[in-house]
Structure 1
Amino acid sequence: MMIILDESLTDYIFLSRCIPLPLSALKVIKSRVSFENVLKLTPKQFETLLESFKKVDHISIRQINKKVEKFYNLNNKKTFEYIRKQLSICGKNNIQCLSYFNKDFPPILKSIGKPPKLIFIQGAIKSEDYKAVAIIGTRNPTKYGEKMARDIAKRLVEEGFTIVSGFARGIDTIAMKSALDFGGRAIGVIASGILNLYPKEHQYLVEKLVSNGALISERFPHKNVSKQALQIRNRITSGIGLGNIFVEGNERSGTRWQYKFGARQGRPAFAVEPIDNDVEQAFIPNWIVNEKGGAKISSLKDIDWVVEILNEEYEKRRQVKNLNKGTTTHQKSILKY
């Protein structure tokens, strides 16, 4: 049983979640002050600290007055008891709670725009998961969409890729299940807490997933899903993958967020060509190919050149990873936690 009752982590969660402070400010605190010492400041001293972030470090701190007010009102026994309770729940359920500064925080997530300040993981992200691809799409696929998601996932697993998705109904789960059924690895990024799985009918897949991959969330274990969480989790799904493969989606599909985040992150976009352009599920693939310049996958044979592109992206990722090994001692000290 994993027990996580680290007081420094508790302090970090308070500052990163309850106040909340931006990651850039947390980095400065980690390197110069310590989270524990910040909690000992008076509200006036805390305000001075935030002002110094703006003036000295040129860090944008919004609504300083509100943050100081929260620091004064929430810096109490009740708040910290709640945080400790959440960490205890994690420990009892083999869920890792990792701050951005934890040595086990997936380096792959540090490289994305607006990386998470805190993540909860059941299972493990391994080095082989650097070679990953996201397969996402509609919750209501056609029979053709189901077959293509299943077959593409199988083919990519054969090439050594981990399959990433948002764990939603439909294409996401079909792709992940296919990867696991054929001996591959998969990563599901969810918008609810890990112990309050959404959708609940996917609970049957969790045991196999955490044994051969990971379930990731930014939310406390029992938190409900929210619209905002559904949107922003796409930056993680896209960030882990080397590219995004879209398999069907209507005009209102949340996969648009996956595309938007992927474009910002420089991830190549691929879309499965519909066999019937009159169905609503054909909208997203046609939008990505015709309006956004994404690459079209017309058949499974096209996966050969898709793999070539993804392998090129993988080599770039490996080079960046090797460059990061050359950080200075000071930089490394900032990243240890």
Structure 2
Amino acid sequence: MDDFSDKWREEDGLLLLNGVRGLGPITLRRLLERFRGDPLSLLKASKRDLLQVRGVGKGVVDSIENAVNSDWLKKEKGKIKKHGVDFITNADFPPLLRELYDCPVGLYVLGALPPGPYVSIVGTRMPSNYGKRMGREIAFDLAQRGFCIVSGMARGIDAEAHRGALDAKGKTIAFLGSGLDVIYPPEHIDLYRKISESGAVLSEFPFGRKADRRTFPMRNRLVSGISNGVVVVESAASGGSLITARLAADQGRMVFALPGRVDQQSASGCNQLIRDGATLIRNANDVIEEIEPTLTEIENSGGNSRMQENLPSQKETVESISGIESKLLKAFREGDHFSLEELC
């Protein structure tokens, strides 16, 4: 590939690699490890050298070469400047996010990423009035106590969590399953603006990338991965929030669930999580009581050592989840693409 080391910085190389379609975070990290973490060496490598890395096929190599030889990087940097966005890399990530084995190499950030501690609040897109109230209340109380509220800006519980933090004049961040210029759902444009002013809106996806069935679980792993704990407010037994909860357990994060009526579909997922070992909570104080003792140790260790004790191993967690969840996890980790028919 072309010798461009005199023109590009390391951050440019990471930005370009992050935008290569079909190159998942796990495979990209394998490539970087092969070239001692230097993205410019990777981009200058021969096809033969790239193909020696596990998980790298001709399609990925061709995509990398096409990206290098195109004006994509110049255009993307122009969009970053136009939208007032930063592209941050691993060194600027919060410690818990940085430790993920499938951590992205970079994130687009609109706003200012607040310091932790972080608590994620997730749930159904079609909550009951009780679920809306509890999601907003728990977020409000946690934000007042200094926790940054994390969610995905989706309809329902996600939006209520963000609004609760904003009501408390606290900090909140949203991870999107699309590029930062593709606001989804579109009716949340005002919420998007308020979140970026109070905290930050983040995405690992380049500008123009639309949300789809693959990007949402990728987004969810960051919602859980950055956090000290994940609260599921309401979720059906097959809800996407359960994927976030399983990811949280996989990552060694605390998982909390608000119980609901046994005959209520939107509570069945939370009740299932509690049955399977999630911590039952009634309010924000229950969350704080569990998380606070871990914060000093996490800060001192730069990681998440205490939370990983007595939790299932990654292999056990992945094997315990449902077939569709397992397919989704494998898809985004390896960079595979599945049609909706294959996933359903």
TM tier, smaller? 0.7 to 0.9
Aligned equivalents of 1:120, 1:64: Cα separation in 2: 27
Contact 2:107 2:202 in 1 (8 A): yes
TM-score w.r.t. structure 2 length? Answer: 0.78
Q: Which residue of structure 2 lines up, in the alignment, with residue 35 of structure 1?
A: 39
* Separation (CA, whole Å) in 2 of partners of 1:194 and 1:15: 18
Alignment of 1:168-317 (within 5 A): 168-274=154-260, 276-290=261-275, 292-297=276-281, 299-300=282-283, 303-317=284-298
Q: Residue 314 of structure 1 aligns to which amino acid in structure 2?
A: L
Rate the CA distance shift 1:285–1:17 in 2: closer, same or farther, 3 A. same
Is the CA contact (8 Å cut-off) linking 2:121 and 2:230 kept in structure 1?
A: yes
Where 1:269 maps in the other structure, the secondary structure is: strand
Amino acid at match of 1:159: R
The 8 Å contact of residues 16 and 26 in structure 1, kept in 2 or not, is answered as no
C-alpha distance 113-124 of structure 1, shift in aligned 2 (>3 A): same
SS at match of 1:223: coil
Equivalent residue, structure 2, for 1:329: none
Q: Is the 8 A contact 1:109 1:116 kept in 2?
A: no
Shift in Å at residue 15 of structure 1? 3.9
**Pairs aligned (count):** 294
The verdict on how the C-alpha distance between 1:211 and 1:16 changes in structure 2, with shifts beyond 3 A counting, is closer
- CA–CA distance in 2 between the matches of 1:252 and 1:147? 22
Q: Give the aligned partner of residue 77 of structure 1.
A: 69
| 1:121 equivalent in alignment to 2:122 | no
Q: Does 1:23 align with 2:15?
A: no
- The Cα of 1:62 is off from its aligned counterpart by 1.5
Shift of 1:147: 1.1
Q: CA deviation at 1:148?
A: 0.8
Give 1:293 deviation, angstroms: 1.1
- Structure 1 unaligned regions, length at least 5: 55-60, 324-337
SS in 2 for 1:39: helix
Structure 1 CA distance for aligned equivalents of residues 214 and 151 of structure 2: 17
Supply the AA of the counterpart residue of 1:313.
T
Q: Deviations over 1:85-125 (max 9, x none)?
A: 1121011111112233xx43444321123111221111122
| Map of 1:97 onto structure 2 | 87
Question: What residue ranges of structure 2 are gaps of 5+ in the alignment?
Answer: 1-6, 305-344
Q: Is the 8 A contact 1:98 1:105 kept in 2?
A: yes
1 CA distance for matches of 2:44 and 2:287? 54
1:38 deviation in Å? 4.1
Rounded to whole Å, the distance in 1 between the matches of 2:43 and 2:124 is 45
> CA 1:47–1:272 in 2, change beyond 3 Å: closer, same or farther?
same
Q: Which residue of 2 aligns with 1:334?
A: none
Distance in 1 (CA, whole Å) between partners of 2:251 and 2:303 is 19
Asked if the contact 1:122–1:214 (Cα under 8 Å) also holds between the matched residues in 2, the reply is yes
Amino acid at match of 2:200: A
Are positions 1:10 and 2:3 aligned together? no
Q: Which residue of 2 aligns with 1:331?
A: none
Q: Distance in 2 between matches of 1:139 and 1:75?
A: 37
Which secondary structure does the structure 2 equivalent of 1:122 belong to?
strand
Measure how far apart 1:245 and its partner are.
0.9
Q: Distance in 2 between matches of 1:76 and 1:246?
A: 42
How far the C-alpha of 1:314 sits from its partner, in A, is: 1.9
Change (3 A) 1:66 1:159: same
Deviations 1:256-294 (A, max 9, x none): 1101100101112111121x332211111111111x111
Structure 1 partner of 2:76: 86
Residues 16 and 23 of structure 1 are in contact (CA less than 8 Å); yes or no, is this contact kept in structure 2? no
Distance 1:151 1:212 in 2: 18
Q: Is the 1:121–1:216 Cα contact (8 Å) retained in structure 2?
A: yes
Q: 2:128 aligns with which of 135, 138, 142?
A: 142
Kept after mapping to 1: 8 A contact 2:221/2:247: yes
Other-structure match for 1:161: 147
The residue that corresponds to 1:319 in the other structure is 300
User: Over aligned residues, Cα RMSD in angstroms?
Assistant: 2.4
- Greater Rg by CA: 1
- Cα offset, 1:185, TM superposition: 0.4
Q: Deviation per CA, 1:177-200, whole angstroms, max 9, x where unpaired? A: 111111110011110111111111
Q: Provide the identity percentage.
A: 28
TM-score under structure 1 length normalisation: 0.79
Secondary structure at the residue paired with 1:62?
Answer: coil
